[in-house]
Amino acid sequence: MAIDFSFPPELEALRLRVREFIDTVVRPAEEEIDEKNRDSLVAGVLRMRKAAHEWGLWLPQMPAEYGGMGLGHVAMAAVSAEAAKARFGPFALNAQAPDEGNMHTLLHWATDEQKEIYLRPLCEGRMRSCFAMTEPEVAGSDPTLIQTRAVLDGDEWVINGHKWFISGARGARFAILIARTEDDPEIPQAANSAFLVDLPAPGWELVRDVETMSGGHNHCEIRIRELRVPVDRMLGGRGQGHLLGQARLGPARLAHCMRWLGQAETALDMMVDRATKRFAHGSYLSEKQGIQWMIADSTMELYQAKLMVLHSAYRIDAGADFRTEVSMAKHFVANALNRIVDRAIQVHGALGYSTDTPLAQMATQARWARFADGADEVHQWRIAQRAIEAYGRDGSTRAATGNLPL
């Protein structure tokens, strides 16, 4: 049989090692961090990162050449799902968004010189970065509408525009900035280019950290006025911004899914734990059918989510087209996470609504999963489009349902 759902022993050992690292290093360190105090936050993360080096768990997603562990996407699913069971787990390993996606982007698109200036320090944890694409004035779901504009002036690009929800912008040492450079592109998708912008920079004004339903988490609004970027800081070619964004978003979306699996499993574990300990109306909650349905639905959804993530990761590793699978995984896992966390809150009652457990924070974080990095409806549109195309081409939708041997 060619289908084997077990991990090789060394990967299973690594998964368990990450779990132990999260339990014995990250969780205790998190408890000591005062998040309102920047010094305490930075010191806490640095302590965890030093330990990650000592445990041999630093930078799992990057090749050894950059100090990483060189794991593929299937192996990363195992690592990320464990790491994300604690909030700072991915940060401890230097595998957090948006830096992780930016590292992959730089690895595949940057020149050798750009890699030394930006990728290496990012991998070594000496810099943080951000990815600046979304704008308040136009729908982020449609990057052909981007209004931020770059105009060539001698050997520099002069950029003007407006961005928001730029994660990690405060404190980032550079941005990958997407701006319109082409007036009359062959296709609308070829209007934008990507730039590497050293930060802080004159012309890059951090207006505010946008307050969200889960507080302020460094998702910033940025005004860009007469920002000058040397020509050799273009990332990829002219008009390749969209291509680069898509290439970045595929694996980056799946990396989000891997972390969401960790969150969903934590919520389900908590749901079952609470249900087996809370007593009402003559029996434990776990003995009541209404609660069992919530546990059953969540268990089935988490199982489906894991299969979809593993299969998408397998396709990326195999060099196969992964766009439909990642779209389906992104949509499904984001929605499953929201439902599972919500049910866990329901089973916990008032305790679930309080901030005494991580569930309330998980719920507000989970909400953005349904529209960031591709809204539900946009993924559904693409998934339907590919099913219709497959049927038109092959007389069967099979290719659009993961191209599985069934």
Question: Nearest CA to 81 among 318, 328, 247, 268?
Answer: 268
Does position 373 interact with ligand FAD (CB under 6 A)? The reply is yes
CA distance 274 to 354: 15
Q: State which residue, 175 or 329, has the beta carbon closest to ligand FAD.
A: 175
User: Minimal CB distance to ligand FAD: which residue?
Assistant: 140
Please enumerate, as own/partner, the contacts of 23-26 that have beta carbons within 8 Å and a separation of 24 or more. Answer: 25/51, 25/52, 25/55, 25/92, 26/86, 26/88, 26/89, 26/92
Does position 391 interact with ligand FAD (CB under 6 A)? The reply is no
Sign, CA dihedral 75-80-85-89, equals positive
Q: Residue 8 in contact with residue 15, Cβ under 8 Å?
A: no
What does the DSSP assignment read for 334-398?
HHHHHHHHHHHHHHHTHHHHSSSSTHHHHHHHHHGGGTTTS-HHHHHHHHHHHHHHHHHHHSSSG
Does position 375 interact with ligand FAD (CB under 6 A)? The reply is yes
Q: Residue 229 in contact with residue 213, Cβ under 8 Å?
A: no
Burial of residue 320, with CB atoms counted within 10 A of its CB: 0-12 exposed, 13-18 middle, 19 or more buried: exposed
Which of 80, 105, 167, 327 contacts ligand FAD by CB under 6 A? 167
We find the least distance from the C-beta atom of residue 86 to ligand FAD, in angstroms, to be: 19
**Contact region with ligand FAD (CB under 6 A), list: 46-54, 133-141, 275-283, 287-295:** 133-141
We find the least distance from the C-beta atom of residue 218 to ligand FAD, in angstroms, to be: 9
Q: State which residue, 273 or 376, has the beta carbon closest to ligand FAD.
A: 376
**Contact region with ligand FAD (CB under 6 A), list: 24-32, 44-52, 106-114, 160-168:** 160-168
Does position 335 interact with ligand FAD (CB under 6 A)? The reply is no
Does position 193 interact with ligand FAD (CB under 6 A)? The reply is no
Which of 55, 284, 353, 371 contacts ligand FAD by CB under 6 A? 371
We find the least distance from the C-beta atom of residue 61 to ligand FAD, in angstroms, to be: 18
Which of 131, 157, 260, 322 contacts ligand FAD by CB under 6 A? 131
Q: Residue 83 in contact with residue 22, Cβ under 8 Å?
A: yes
Does position 206 interact with ligand FAD (CB under 6 A)? The reply is no
We find the least distance from the C-beta atom of residue 46 to ligand FAD, in angstroms, to be: 23
**Contact region with ligand FAD (CB under 6 A), list: 161-169, 251-259, 263-271, 312-320:** 161-169
**Contact region with ligand FAD (CB under 6 A), list: 32-40, 159-167, 191-199, 393-401:** 159-167
We find the least distance from the C-beta atom of residue 150 to ligand FAD, in angstroms, to be: 16
Parallel/antiparallel/unpaired status of strands 283-284 and 279-280? antiparallel
Phi, psi of 172 (to 5 degrees): -70, 145
Both tokens of 396, joined, read 């069967």
What does the DSSP assignment read for 271-290?
HHHHHHH-EETTEEGGGSHH
Which residues make beta-bridge pairs with 283?
280
- Count of residues binding ligand FAD (CB under 6 A)? 21
Which residues make beta-bridge pairs with 176?
131, 196
Does position 134 interact with ligand FAD (CB under 6 A)? The reply is yes
Q: Residue 52 in contact with residue 44, Cβ under 8 Å?
A: no
Both tokens of 38, joined, read 């920047």
Residue type, 399: A
**Contact region with ligand FAD (CB under 6 A), list: 85-93, 129-137, 221-229, 347-355:** 129-137
Residue type, 163: K
We find the least distance from the C-beta atom of residue 142 to ligand FAD, in angstroms, to be: 6
Q: State which residue, 58 or 131, has the beta carbon closest to ligand FAD.
A: 131
State which of positions 90-109 bind ligand FAD (CB under 6 A): 98
Both tokens of 81, joined, read 């799902």
We find the least distance from the C-beta atom of residue 247 to ligand FAD, in angstroms, to be: 15
Does position 320 interact with ligand FAD (CB under 6 A)? The reply is no
Binding site for ligand FAD (CB under 6 A): 98, 130-134, 139-141, 165-167, 219, 368, 371-373, 375, 377-378, 381
